[in-house]
Structure 1
Amino acid sequence: MRAIAYSETGPSSVLQLVERDIPQPAPGEVRVRIVVSGVNPTDWKARAGGAPGRATPFPEVVPNQDGAGVVDAIGDGVTGFAVGDRVWVFLAAHERPTGTAQEFAVLPASRVVHLPDAAGFDLGASLGVPAMTAHRALTVHEGGPTRLGPGALEGRTVLVAGGAGAVGHAAIQLARWAGARVVTTVSSPEKAALATAAGAHHVVDYRADDAARAIRAVAPDGVDQVVEVSPARNAALNAAIIANHGSISVYATDGGTEMTLDVRHHFSLNARYQFLLLYTVGDAALAAAADDLTRALESGALPVGEEAGLPLTRFPLDRAADAHDAVEAGTVGKVLIDVAAG
């Protein structure tokens, strides 16, 4: 089978197209014929490592955490799957040597999820890290909910920072599906159009508007939940718009790794900062996200593509390095790798 692999960290040029034997699933594992592989920022960052030339965690690594395809073989003890099932996968390369940038991937059955018939492989490969992160960000408020579904966020106002990004896009869609009023911040009219297409009720261009005033205009009592990509840059804004008992869910460090908070102000609001990293949230949170995302998929709540607010940029498998470079360069939307025909 064809696979993309690297044996030392560094720039995208360390990625090589290689031929490898088709792996066999062990007990508890599922083999998936990958149709589309999704690329996330953590994929290129793991490949780049702390410095070029440093050792990889395994002698050879196949990158990319997310993907979608068809079940090809099933290991002993696995139930709930059959050969031919359409599936999406997540955290394929987490603490494992091989991800989805290959024609066949073997994963624990717990990281394989049925893909509803109405959902295409592009959509399946776009879930994983961004959608599950968004789910977690929306389910850590002190007043709940811990699960998402229609009505779960009824009466809440959610602010999504960076609504044109992959996590922001999923957060807008999930919050709207769950009944929230959704506000988002963006940095350009083009990104505003994407956030609107994703389903945001109100879009604020923070470069052109007084963001705090614009948000307070539509949420005079404050924002109940913030899905935050840039805590350092947005700390003052969040302090200005967060509601009493509001929650700020931080999933990235764009704009810096240190922030300054007015402790007394946050005391008075009973505000909560919740930091989250999908790779360490635990199996229960991952399983809950997978279940809720499946229901959202079944209801048609998570479309992708430019018309849905998430442009797709795609590359063939032999140009996986270009795909990594595109994500590193900040390509708006989702970068996909076509591995095989559907």
Structure 2
Amino acid sequence: MKAVTWRGFGPARDVLKVEDLATPTAGAGEVLVRVAYSGVNPSDCKARSGARPGVTKPPFEVIVPHSDGAGVIEAVGDGVDPARMGERVWLWNGQWQRPFGTCAECIAVPAEQAVALPDGVSLEDGAVMGIPGLTAAQTVFGSGDVVGQTVLVSGGGGSVGYLAVQLAAWGGATVIATCGARDMARVTAAGATHVFDYASPTLAADILAVCDGVDRAVEVELGPNLPLLTEVMKPLGTIAAYGSAKDMAPEMPFGPMLFKALKLDISLIYILPLAEREAAIARLHGAFADGALKLDAPNVFALEEAAAAHAMVEAGGRTGAVLVKC
């Protein structure tokens, strides 16, 4: 089979190659998926570039990148219902702690990591449901229903934030979002009741002018935004954080957080326990079934263009997922 590989850290254009590898087989409890689309995420680029803290060498001799993807089950191993053959599926954790991910014509994964794709959901959209979709669902619904709550989504124009806005609105919350000027109309159309420029010098006052405080915050930049959050959160509110790239060692304003008894809920979707993951999957599928989840048109690259796909993710500022067509 054809697969994109890398064998050492470096720029995508230098280390990503297309190779012929042996097609894997489905072992016991596994399925073999013919991959249609492989989703590229920032974490894939960080892993390939060697940007992960404390990681000094690749964990495997040969790596096929990417954790997300979608395709069709071609074979099943012992213990897996043969009726699953031919099933359209989306994939999670394809390359998490494993050498071979989804950027190949085929992948063998444990059967639970190949989730039946709901009717009417495209394979392209399925390839986005892993890291962005599950992160959005977990950060919005990680404490349960949000009906009647005020949910603040920072970075509402980003991959996770855009889905979180839609999911929170579908879940019955009043959604306040921050984003850049370019994305304001798009984020409003996604379901945000109020949208503010994240760079506004009066952002805290802007938010508090339209609500009496935030019940739950979905936060992409925890460190820089903690001072703002301590101002706008309600007592007993929850900050559901999934990133802090601009400040990975933030100082915590513990006093203001203490006297509001704020809860900090950090999500790393790769290690989400199965029961919580299944709950997040159910939320995603429910939103799709209700027509409440719409994704931007993806940016699709051929296998031979995987380096360009990585470059697009690293450049930022895009709309739509970045996919490699396998």
Provide the TM-score with structure 1 as the length reference: 0.90
Looking at structure 1, the residues matched to 138 and 197 of structure 2 have their Cα atoms a distance apart, in angstroms, of 25
Residue type at the aligned position of 2:299 = T
Q: Which amino acid aligns with 2:33?
A: V
Question: Contact 1:122–1:336 at 8 Å: present in 2 too?
Answer: no
User: Is residue 48 of structure 2 the alignment partner of residue 47 of structure 1?
Assistant: yes
Secondary structure of residue in 2 paired with 1:218? coil
Aligned ranges for residues 34-183 of structure 1 at < 5 Å? 34-50=35-51, 55-79=57-81, 82-140=84-142, 144-145=143-144, 152-183=145-176
- Which stretch of structure 1 is more off in the superposition, 2-11 or 330-339? 330-339
Deviates more, 1:106-115 or 1:256-265: 256-265
**1:68/1:55 Cα in 2 relative to 1: closer, same or farther (>3 Å)?**
same
Which runs of 5 or more structure 1 residues have no equivalent in the other structure? Answer: 146-151, 306-310
Q: Give the match for residue 260 of structure 2.
A: 269
- Quick check: 2:298–2:323 contact (8 Å CA) kept in 1? no
CA-based RMSD: 1.8
Post-superposition offset of 1:287: 2.2
Letter in 2 for 1:264: G
Partner of 1:247: 238
Q: What's 2:177 paired with? A: 184
Instruction: Confirm or deny that 1:302 pairs with 2:293.
Output: yes
Is 2:5–2:63's contact at 8 Å kept on the other side of the alignment?
A: yes
1:149 is matched with none
- What residue in structure 1 maps to residue 221 of structure 2? 230
Against the structure 1 CA distance between its residues 337 and 155, is the aligned structure 2 distance closer, same or farther, given a 3 Å change threshold? Answer: closer
| Contact 2:37 2:127 survives alignment (8 Å) | yes
Q: Is the Cα–Cα contact under 8 Å of residues 30 and 106 in structure 1 kept in the other structure?
A: yes
Q: CA deviation at 1:81?
A: 5.2
* Aligned 8 A contact 1:161 1:168 in 2: yes
Query: Would you say the 8 A contact 1:2–1:20 is kept in 2?
Result: yes
- Alpha-carbon spacing, 1:330–1:292, altered in 2? closer, same or farther (3 Å): same
Count of residue pairs the alignment pairs up: 323
Deviation of residue 254 (structure 1)?
Answer: 2.6
Aligned to 1:31: 32
Q: 1:90 to 1:27 in 2, by over 3 A?
A: same
Amino acid at match of 1:87: V
Q: Is the 8 A contact 1:317 1:337 kept in 2?
A: no
Report how far residue 277 of structure 1 moved. 1.0
Q: Percent identity?
A: 38
Aligned to 1:315: 301
The answer to whether 1:199 aligns with 2:191 is yes
Return the offset for 1:260. Answer: 2.9
Tell which deviates more after alignment, 56-65 or 156-165: 56-65
